[in-house]
Amino acid sequence: MIRSPLRAGIALACALSLSACGGGDGDVYVGGTVTGNTKAGLVLTNNDGPRLEVPANQSTFLFPDLVETDATYNVKVVASPDNTQPTTEGGTDGCKVVEGTGTGKAVFSVTTVQVVCTLKTFPLTVRVNGTHAAGLEIVNGSDRKAVAPTDTVVQMTQIPEGANYGVAVLAAPGQTCTVANGSGTMDNVGKTVDLNCTTP
Amino acid sequence: MKKSILALCALTVAAGLSACGGGTSSYTIGGVVAGLQYPGLVLQNNLVNDLPVTPLGADTNGNIQNVTYTFPNEVDYGEPYSVTVKTNPQHQTCVNSSGTSDTAGRLSSINAVIVCSLVTNTIGGTITGVAADGLVLTNGSAGGTVTVTKDATSGAYPTTFTFPVGVTYGQTYGVTVLTPPTGQSCTVTNGAGTMGDNKVETIAVTCANNP
């Protein structure tokens, strides 16, 4: 008489909080946070169980299957978005579980698993046209590069696909330099902008 | 007899002169300043005793070294102490982190931790000539963007802008036009610089209709 409303209450709480109490028969859940998943393709497993797909830009995840109190959990990345940089080409570790956070004993519900994705970056090239003198410096925001008088090409720090950029002249003593088409959004190949200078 | 000793003892403790059981016990007020890069920091104890703290620079790995400090005066057991920042160092802001205000003797030693970080200021300026939607400004790849939209009430475009992301002291910024308003072109003057101690409000964006 007492048990059934209690059980119903638990089931309801479960349904409300998790929306799926599916296959698991435990009472604690396993989850955590994700950073850098700007594209679909991240797939996680817990204890080599069912695949959990984490959508693009979703910063938290929770395995729908509950585990039993005190059970061990072991979260792995089994696939990473194709805009991430694996350790070796073709690998699945473009996203990684931060060491020490992926395994443990689920005494209480776990929300501390951290998955971090490292994005592939692409070159932002500056072609230097015309005569230029010493002291020339260009920036892409906080990324600052000096342009030597002999430079004809300068590589800015590489940026991920989808990132905006805007190359501007920071200093050009005794010369006049402008950037043509200096702003845009990075693709999956690389972008080139023109720095045009005249020195009187 | 026993009662009167206890009473005396209690009085002594209440007066904060010494601990019961003979002998005084005093505590050194000190701790650690983390993140200190520039000179000028002055700490204070109990709002009266000044202590200048000098940065130690970076270690061989390039990490800023913690600076250990000690006030010349000590406090007796049971006395309150509080360490505060009287003067910030150049280009930095220091805040109390832990153990900066307590009663001497509650813990075995006093370790008042102060954490310093470089100041961050906003960048912005003026916009003129915008006649259509679509203007987006960017500060490089990591400095955020500003989208210029019509004011819902007045129907006018704003004449000033400020980036939501600040720039840390010593870092460069470079504001460029990511997309111009529809049918217009824009130029930016004073768009690039190196952040100093004050916010930047002198970036000028000027837009005009395409011919």
Gap from A143 CA to chain B (nearest CA, Å): 7
What does the pLDDT read at residue B18? 40
Query: What confidence category does residue A95 fall into, taking pLDDT thresholds of 50, 70 and 90?
Result: very high
Tell me whether residues B139 and A141 touch, CB distance under 8 A. yes
Fold for A25-117, please state it.
Answer: Immunoglobulin-like (2.60.40)
Q: Do B139 and A182 touch (CB under 8 A)?
A: no
Average pLDDT over residues A182-192: 95
Q: Is residue B89 part of a domain?
A: yes
Could you give the number of structural domains in chain B? 2
Do B186 and B157 fall into the same domain? Answer: yes
Q: Are the Cβ atoms of B140 and A140 closer than 8 angstroms?
A: yes
Pair (B23, B111) in one structural domain: yes
Tens of pLDDT, residues A110-154:
999 999 999 999 999 999 999 999 999 999 999 999 999 999 999
**CB contacts, 8 Å: A143 with chain B:** 140-142, 172
Cβ contact, residue pair B178, A183, below 8 Å: yes
For the structural domain made of A121-198, what CATH number should be given?
A: 2.60.40.2610
Give the pLDDT confidence of A11-38 residue by residue, as tens digits: 444 444 444 444 456 788 999 999 999 9
> B114 and B24, same structural domain?
yes
Report pLDDT for A200. Answer: 85
Rg (CA), chain A: 25
**Which of A163-172, B52-61, B103-112, B158-167 is least confident?**
B103-112
Residue pair B29/B70 in contact by the 8 Å Cβ criterion: yes
Residue A9 has pLDDT above 70, yes or no: no
Q: Where are the domains of chain A?
A: 25-117, 121-198
Angstrom CA distances, B13 to B46, B81, B103, stand at: 20, 17, 13
Judge if B109 and B28 occupy the same domain. yes
**3 state SS of B159:** coil
Quick check: B48 pLDDT over 70? yes
Q: What is the mean pLDDT of chain A?
A: 88
Is residue B201 located within the same domain as residue B126? yes
> B85 in a domain, yes or no?
yes
Confidence of residue B24 (pLDDT cuts 50, 70, 90): low
Q: What is the pLDDT of residue A73?
A: 94
| Type of residue at A47 | N
What distance in Å separates residue A126's CA from the closest CA in chain B?
14
B97 within domain boundaries: yes
Higher pLDDT, B134 or B9: B134
Q: Which residue has the tokens 């956070």?
A: A101
CA-closest candidate to residue B140, choices A170, A115, A47, A37: A170
Instruction: For residues B32 and B88, state if they share a domain.
Output: yes
- Find which of A137, A139, A157, A159 to mutate to test the B interface (most B CBs within 10 Å of its CB): A139
Of B138, B143, B172, the CB nearest to A183: B138
B110, B154: one domain: no
* Number of other CB atoms surrounding residue A66 within 10 Å: 23
Q: Is A168 on the interface with B (CB under 8 A)?
A: yes
| Residues B2-8, mean pLDDT to the nearest whole number | 47
A164 interfacial to chain B (CB closer than 8 Å): yes
Region B21-45: mean pLDDT is: 86
Give the containing element (helix H, strand E) for B3: helix B2-15
Q: Do A165 and B138 touch (CB under 8 A)?
A: yes
Instruction: Using CA coordinates, name the residue in chain A closest to B168.
Output: A142
- If asked whether residues B104 and B49 sit together in one domain, one would say yes
Residue B12 has pLDDT above 70, yes or no: no
Q: Does A165 contact B139 at a Cβ distance shorter than 8 Å?
A: no
Q: What is the ipTM of this complex?
A: 0.76
Lowest mean pLDDT across A10-24, A63-77, B27-41: A10-24
| Lowest model confidence (mean pLDDT) among A1-15, A29-43, B165-179 | A1-15
Calculate what percentage of chain B has a pLDDT beyond 70.
89
Q: CA of B125 to nearest chain A CA: how many angstroms apart?
A: 16
Q: Which of B140, B145, B176 sits opposite A142 (nearest CB)?
A: B140
Range of the domain at B32: 19-118
> Is A165 within 8 Å of B142 when comparing Cβ atoms?
no
pLDDT at B1 over 70: no
CB–CB contact B175 A168 (8 Å): yes
A190 touches chain B (CB under 8 A): no
Q: Are residues B84 and B135 in the same domain?
A: no
